[in-house]
Every structure is written in C-alpha cells, then in structure tokens.
Amino acid sequence: MLFNTPQYLLFLPLVVLVYYCLPKKVRYIWLLVTSYYFYMQWNPLYVTLLFSCTFLTYLCGRILGSLGAENANMQEETGAERKAALKRKACLVVCILLNLGILGFFKYFQFGISILNRLLSVIHVDSVSWGNDILLPVGISFYTLQALGYLIDVYRGDIYAEKDFLRYALFVSFFPQLVAGPIERSKNLLVQLKTPQSFSYENLRKGALLVLYGLFLKMVIADRAAVIVDTVYQDRAAYPGFYVAAATVFFSIQIYCDFYGYSTIARGSALIMGIRLMENFNAPYYSKSVKEFWRRWHISLSGWFRDYLYIPLGGNRKGRLRKQGNLLTVFTVSGLWHGASFSFVFWGLLNGVYQVVGDVFSKIGKRFFEQIRKRREDRENPEEKAEEHFSTVLFRTIRTFLLISFAWLFFRAGGMMSALRMLESMFSQNNWTILFDGSLYGLGVARNYMNVLLGSILLLFIVDYQKYHGKDVADVFLKQGWWFRVSGIMCLLVAILLYGCYGELYDIQQFIYFQF
C-alpha cells in the first residue's frame, strides 16, 4: 500500500478513528494488526521475514536483559560477571549475524553470484547458474537496522529489554515508517508506544498538514522531475552533454522530494495518533559542506551508522588517519546498504572521499585564513565572531550541491558501466545553450507543467530556507489567520489534484527508497 494512493487515504482515517475509540491499554494491539495488514499488501509471504526478525531480536533482547547491563569497568568484573559478559557478547553477535545473514541473502546473494561468475570467467571456468530471481522484501533494510539498533541499545544498557512481545513487534513494524524509515530509536518510539496519548486537535491539524505537504513533494515535484530524468537517462544518445547535467540536477530534486515526501507523510500519519517520529531531513541542500549535508540528509541512517559503526570502529579517537579510514569504511558500507551494485558502493565511497578531502583542505584553509580573520575581528569588533560574507556562503552552498549532484549520477545510473557511459555522454558535447533556449521543455514535460514544477521547486527552497534557520514552518503556518491557512491548503490540494493526480502523464509512482 503506497502513501500516494486512495487506498491509504481511506486506510489512515479508519486506523485513527478506531485507535482513539479503543482503551489506551489495547491501542498498540490495534496498531500492530493494522501494521501487519499494511505490510502484507505487498507480499503476504514476506511477513514471515518481518516476524522472524522481530522474534529473534526480541528473544535476544530478553536474554541480554536477564544477564544484566554492560560493565564499563572491565577490571572490576568478577569471574561470574565475565562469564555473563561473554554470554552477552555471544548472544548479541549470533543475533546480529542471523539477521544480517537474512538481509544479505535477499539483498546481496545474486550480486555475489555475479561477482563470482566474473572471477570464474577470468580463469576460464564455467559460471555458476542460479535459476531463481530473489525478490527483495520491501523495507527489510530499514526494519532490520531498527531492530538491531534496539538490540545494541539493550546490550549497552541504554534502554530496557521490552517484555511485551506485541508491543516490541509494533516497534519494529509501525506502519508509517516501516518500509522506508525514518529508522527510529528504541528510546524514542518504543517509549512512546508504552504511553499512548489522548486525542489532540493540534496534533490532528499539524499531522494532516504534514501528510498534505508530503504528498505535494512526492506527486507534484518528485514524480514530475522523474519524467525529465527518465527521458534523458534512458536515451543518452539523443540527449548528450548538458542534457545529462540538467537531468542529474533534476534527479537531485527528485530523490530529495521523493524521500523527504515519504518521511513527511510518515511523520504526519504518526503525529495524528500522538506519536512523534524523528525528523529525517533538515534542509540538506542549504549545506555549506558535504559533511554538513550528511548531518541533514537521511538523519536517521547517518545517525545509525555513526552510533553503531563509526564510533565502535574508533571514530575520531584514534588519530587523523584512523578517522579518515573509518569515514571511508562507513560511507562504503552505506553505499552497499543502498544497493547491490558497484555504482552504489562507488557513490558511498565518493561521498566519503569528499569528506576526507574536505577535512584536509579545511585544516589548510583554517591556518591560511586565521590571521586574516583575526585581523578583521580585531579591526571591526574583537568581541564578536566574524560572520561569513554572503558570497562565500553562496559559493560553498552551490559547490556542495554540485558535488552531491555529481555523486547522484552514480546512484541513478543503474550500474557502474551505465554511470561511466552517462559521464561520457555528459562531456561529449558543449551544448550549454540548451539551458536557455527552451530545449528543456521537450524532455517529456509540457511547458505549463514544467513551469508548475519550477514554481513548486522554488516554494520548496523557500520553505527549506526557513527550516534551515531553525523555524518549524508547519507551526508558523498554523499560527496564521484562517484565510491564509485555508488559501494555502487549497493551493496544495489543487496542485496535487491537477498536477499530481489527474494531470498529464500521471501514474502512481513507487517511492524510490522502497527498493532498498
């Protein structure tokens, strides 16, 4: 069941209505039933994988809880405590390996077979045949990481081991964020599920507004931009040079609005029921560095890798070279998490290289400009920190956007060889005039729809500018006069209905991150 379908727009109100009619102590059971129903709309058989992940991590969590919390001071441990610590580690490792094994089979088995066959062809050995295609279960990468995060938190003593299996099952399968995040932490979501809230009109208003804005991002911007991107990427011979560059920039907008739209609908759906999911995006395209971008993009995944991989590897505590190696490792793993393809691995590695290079040059630049900045501060006001000029901020923001967009090409291309061919096509012609002569209107989107798309993107960047500066735009909007609120909501509805649902070239599009 997709968020951008009439079925979901009927499903959500029904779930909410029954939810608030039930006593608080049994509401979570209703949400669990509806969450499993929601997931089974894709493939009922794969609900067994969701249940297996839930059962394994629940059982391991109970065992970890019974063995006590981790002792930070190893020297003070008694013999019995050391044995308990070994049992805890063994339990944790076994459960992690089992869950990652299931994820690896469905997501990377065929990728591994293809690599093996390439190696066998080099030494002239017959390839290994695998006759059956493995269908990737929707959301498996997300709920697996969420369950493993809970398990590690229990192991560290950061969260209690949940005793109620049904409540824990809801934590893993909560339908708004089940298939594409945000990857919630147990300290946030699990605790909220234990203490359901009463109905709140303010939560209803804000939640419904978030759902509406998320649909606008997905159906008006992302799905329209997808037409342009697909037109160019599927026929690079007909659209070389700056067509590829323009399509790649549009893909940067498409993937942002597609994933941000999903996360916004998820947050809104949960908020209507009084459950606050974490913010997954925070105006990432206003970032002034790649490092800042990854603090603002897919925040739940970045935070997961930071807390459960980067820091355990040593983080930045083992010296600069170790820090840079850890960064490259984390981003390479992140690329592999996104997909079983060398292009995804390279995309992740490239983002890691961006950060390593940026870190090196920031140290050099800091030393170079230190004296100039100090003199300026002393001359103007020694008590105030000098602010960056607008031109500097603009340059750094555009530079970061272009670097990120270049990396997105490898993400979108569908394979490493396809990405290299797209790069070759992009640099094959210097046809920069197509950006200004109206040629972009011939990329599958009619002129009037293209103008609506460009206007919608402008609205997106205005909203994100306010968000970048710490304002909750939804709260600000809801505090305005009734005529302003009604006008704004009607404009979003009209845009969705005319240019999203019933407009030219309309087709219900799956969210991009469902494939991960």
Catalytic positions, please? 338
> Exposed, middle or buried, 73 (CB in 10 Å: 0-12/13-18/19+)?
exposed
| Tokens (6 digits) for 188 | 């946030």
State the Cα angle at 156 between 154 and 157, rounded to 5°. Answer: 60
CB atoms within 10 A of CB 463: 18
CA 112 from centroid of its chain's CA atoms? 25
Tokens of 214: 């998320």
3-state secondary structure of 138: coil
> DSSP of 36-88, one letter per residue?
HHHHHTT-GGGHHHHHHHHHHHHHHHHHHHHT-PPPS-GGG--HHHHHHHHHH
In order of 29, 199, 411, 482, the CA distances from 204 in angstroms are 21, 8, 37, 16
**For the chain, counts of helices (H) and of strands (E):** 19, 0
| DSSP letter for each residue of 287-321 | -SSHHHHHHHSSHHHHHHHIIIIITTTTTTSS-HH
- Residue 159 burial (C-beta neighbours within 10 Å; 0-12, 13-18, 19+): buried
Question: Phi, psi at residue 431, to the nearest 5°?
Answer: -100, 50
Per DSSP, the three-state class of 243 is helix
- The single-letter DSSP state of residue 330 is H
Cα dihedral 382, 383, 389, 393 sign: positive
The CA distance from 304 to 289, in Å, is 21
**294 close to 348: Cβ distance less than 8 angstroms:** no
**258/38 Cα distance (integer angstroms):** 20
How many alpha carbons lie under 13 Å from residue 429 in its C-beta half-sphere? Answer: 16
At how many degrees (to 10) do helices 165-173 and 47-66 cross?
Answer: 130
Alpha carbons 41 and 490: distance in angstroms, whole number = 31
